[in-house]
Structure 1
Amino acid sequence: MTKFKLLATAAMGLESIVADEVKALGFETQNENGKVFFEGDEAAIAKANLWLRTADRVKIIAGEFTATTFDELFEQTKALEWEKFLPVDANFPVQGKSVKSKLYSVPDCQAIVKKAIVERLKKAYHRNSFLDESGARFKIEVSILKDKVQLSIDTSGAGLHKRGYRTGQGEAPLKETLAAALVKLTRWSPDRPFVDPFCGSGTIAIEAAMIGQNIAPGYNREFDSEFWPWMKRKVWDDARLEAEEAADYDQPLDITGTDIDHRLIETAKANAMEAGFAELITFKQRQVKDFTATGESGVIVGNPPYGERIGEIEKIEEMISDMGRVFSAYPTWSVYMLSAAENFEELYGQKATKKRKLFNGFIKTDFYQFWGERPKNT
């Protein structure tokens, strides 16, 4: 098998969580802003796509070099052995981005990289005419930062947050990758109760169930690299079989999702059914001020509404105060809330044990963590 330099891309603030996941798969990592690098073969590509819960995509680094002119970009791109990756009929769209670089025109950079790859492939495959691009898709990205060019090939296709279970969603859905990261940050274990009091379309609760039963998040979808001629079918079959054997479908779970909006509860139930958790997650309509729970040492995780208009903000502030009051009746439970409200702790009536800066899309938020007491009988 071939050794590749691989890249798992991550949302800002989630790099260390993605790196932990990559390490858990058996690889050494190097982190940069939004990037986790590791090395692996075809089996590593399949495994990473199937198992990474918090990464956005898995890419192959095809080449890296410095370029300050279009000529340099063209010649150095053309010098790379693209025929090792791309078959003669490869469909290879090129996307680009450029930050703080002399080559700042992204459309021009994309066009030059495309042309250079075409020239290389025509020579490698002894073609004089156009390449028809009728085969499998190899999405290529040219990324230039401070004149350093990185050329990568996307092995995932649709972003890894597309798990395949979402039949519907609310107005401001939480990405599945961020939802999984929130669950992981709580260090919740499946023998403890878990509640999301702002469940919306059920994403956090469903991700918790997948983690609780050790189900690979990519088990229900396809990836671009599954259709690459040099990625043997057996590699994917083995990876999927391993994922199936690792799943613990008998693990009991106590997971509840509640929301004030009855329509979202129906959506959450439909999504849970699609994910295979219809019998395992309880969804019900409830306001947070009516919160009740049973058991000790539970975990409450939520992404309450943020609000932008004055009337909304007042309602949300009142809701955060309600939360602080009702959750205080459960001293052994730990509470984790993702919020853009800078006065969250003041409204909640308690200083967080820990805070972590995270981005929900482009919204800057804090993940407020209030750790519960140890139960008296332990």
Structure 2
Amino acid sequence: MDQQVTLIATAAMGLEAIVSKEVKELGYENVQVENGRVVFTADVSAIPRANLWLRTADRVKLLVGKFKAVTFDDLFEKTKALPWENFITEDGEFPVVGKSVKSKLYSVPDCQSIVKKAIVERLKKKYGVASWLKETGAFYRVEIALHKDEALLTIDTSGSGLHKRGYRVGQGEAPLKETLAAALVQVTNWHPDEPFVDPFCGSGTIAIEAALIGQNIAPGFNREFASEDWSFIPQKAWDEAFQEAEDCANYDQPLNITGSDIDPDLIDIAKNNAMEAGLGDLVTWKQMQLRDFKPKQENGYLVSNPPYGERMGERPEVEEMYRDLGVIMRDHPSWSVYVLTSHEGFEKLYGKEATKKRKLFNGFIKTDYYQYFGKKIR
């Protein structure tokens, strides 16, 4: 497990600092934050741990090499010079995907094909194979990413994206990615012993992510990863990572988390998702309209991704909800309120300027995360 690797935790725009904090909390140093990614060096045991624990990263990729490439010859020779045999077995299956931005080598299919040929040549030579590689073994998804003529060659260690926790059996119309939901919770100062409410809970993602954070349950505990089959990562590393996740979970932590929504079908979906996440009845689900929301305790946290009113017909109704929310929360100054929306008039409708705002992308929608810090009563 002493083999050092460079890993890239990819992140949605605006979440890089949160992902970086998570990487450091796992004990890794030498962490660099770049646009859309966090780069760090560690031994191979970091692959299981990062995949299991990173709540807000999209994927964990293994960096094989990076170099400048302005011709196809450059790309071929420099790819071939990389130590692919350190990672890919003789029978490994390795499709190549790619992207190119602002680079002389702009034809992605050509770049993919050249990278594939270069890896094949390297592996055939190293493994002493005369004919062809079988590709019947473990799966390694190679990516060639060109940006301003710099080629970045990686292997995806995650498999399906890390937002796929394995608990979402149903979803509403515009589901929030689990990674973004976790980030919305992590930006707050919420502690598991304080009340937590999402009054527009939809299929329950924010409340479920809060419960997983509250009990320190690793977000990847319920799924599989592509790199579980890779021979250069000892089985011991996976066993220890899963054991650590089990040992660190605090299943006895009581939680006061409520998710409510006006739509009874969504409440049913949220309940099923929570059961699938192994949370049982830890989260309280209520079919309720916003106007009936009356906080009964102090020092709570409201974290929500309400409808944005993007469709013209919905706008007046959504704006009315924002006004109602402002009126309700005015009577509860000890509560902190966090709302994600693309509606630029939110503060005016809510009736108060946010303490802090953070720009985030919900998919391709540009949003603001409005943060109102409550005056705590001790």
TM-score (norm 1): 0.98
SS in 2 for 1:169: coil
Name the CA distance, whole Å, in 2 between partners of 1:43 and 1:292. 47
1:176 matched to 2:193? The reply is no
1:33 Cα offset (Å): 0.2
Give CA-to-partner distance per residue, 1:72-92, whole Å, 9 cap, x none: 100100111111110001111
Give CA-to-partner distance per residue, 1:240-270, whole Å, 9 cap, x none: 1011000100000000000111000000000
Name the CA distance, whole Å, in 1 between partners of 2:105 and 2:211. 46
Q: Within 5 Å, which residues of 2 pair with 1:97-108?
A: 97-108=99-110
1:121 maps to amino acid? L
SS in 2 for 1:73: helix
1:277 Cα offset (Å): 1.3
1:314 Cα offset (Å): 1.1
Q: Could you tell me which residue of structure 2 aligns to residue 313 of structure 1? A: 315
1:24 matched to 2:25? The reply is yes
Q: State which of 204, 207, 210 in structure 2 corresponds to 1:205.
A: 207
Q: State which of 182, 186, 189 in structure 1 corresponds to 2:188.
A: 186
Give CA-to-partner distance per residue, 1:5-29, whole Å, 9 cap, x none: 1110000000000000000011121
- Gaps spanning 5+ residues in structure 1: where? none
Q: Within 5 Å, which residues of 2 pair with 1:28-107?
A: 28=29, 29-107=31-109
1:230 Cα offset (Å): 1.8
- Gaps spanning 5+ residues in structure 2: where? none
1:9 matched to 2:10? The reply is yes
1:278 Cα offset (Å): 2.1
1:143 Cα offset (Å): 0.6
SS in 2 for 1:367: strand
Contact 2:103 2:149 (C-alpha < 8 Å) held by counterparts: yes
Q: Within 5 Å, which residues of 2 pair with 1:269-280?
A: 269-280=271-282
Q: State which of 236, 246, 249 in structure 2 corresponds to 1:247.
A: 249
1:307 Cα offset (Å): 2.4
Q: Could you tell me which residue of structure 2 aligns to residue 325 of structure 1? A: 327
Once superposed, what is the RMSD of the aligned Cα atoms? 0.8
1:289 Cα offset (Å): 1.7
SS in 1 for 2:324: helix
1:329 Cα offset (Å): 1.6
SS in 1 for 2:40: strand
Q: Could you tell me which residue of structure 2 aligns to residue 166 of structure 1? A: 168
How many residue pairs are counted as aligned between the two chains? 376
1:344 maps to amino acid? F
2:21 maps to amino acid? D
1:120 maps to amino acid? R
Q: Could you tell me which residue of structure 1 aligns to residue 360 of structure 2? A: 358
1:188 Cα offset (Å): 0.8
1:293 Cα offset (Å): 1.9
Q: Could you tell me which residue of structure 1 aligns to residue 146 of structure 2? A: 144
SS in 1 for 2:45: helix
2:266 maps to amino acid? L
Contact 2:67 2:152 (C-alpha < 8 Å) held by counterparts: yes
Give CA-to-partner distance per residue, 1:54-84, whole Å, 9 cap, x none: 0011111100100000011001001111111
Q: Could you tell me which residue of structure 2 aligns to residue 227 of structure 1? A: 229
Name the CA distance, whole Å, in 1 between partners of 2:87 and 2:232. 8
Contact 2:309 2:343 (C-alpha < 8 Å) held by counterparts: no
1:360 Cα offset (Å): 0.2
Name the CA distance, whole Å, in 2 between partners of 1:289 and 1:111. 58
Q: Could you tell me which residue of structure 2 aligns to residue 112 of structure 1? A: 114
Q: Could you tell me which residue of structure 2 aligns to residue 349 of structure 1? A: 351
SS in 2 for 1:345: helix
Name the CA distance, whole Å, in 2 between partners of 1:47 and 1:334. 32
2:168 maps to amino acid? R
Quick one: percent identity of the two aligned structures?
65
SS in 1 for 2:180: helix
Name the CA distance, whole Å, in 2 between partners of 1:162 and 1:296. 34
1:157 Cα offset (Å): 0.6
Name the CA distance, whole Å, in 1 between partners of 2:6 and 2:233. 16
Name the CA distance, whole Å, in 2 between partners of 1:374 and 1:133. 60
SS in 2 for 1:231: coil
Contact 2:86 2:232 (C-alpha < 8 Å) held by counterparts: no
Name the CA distance, whole Å, in 2 between partners of 1:276 and 1:17. 25
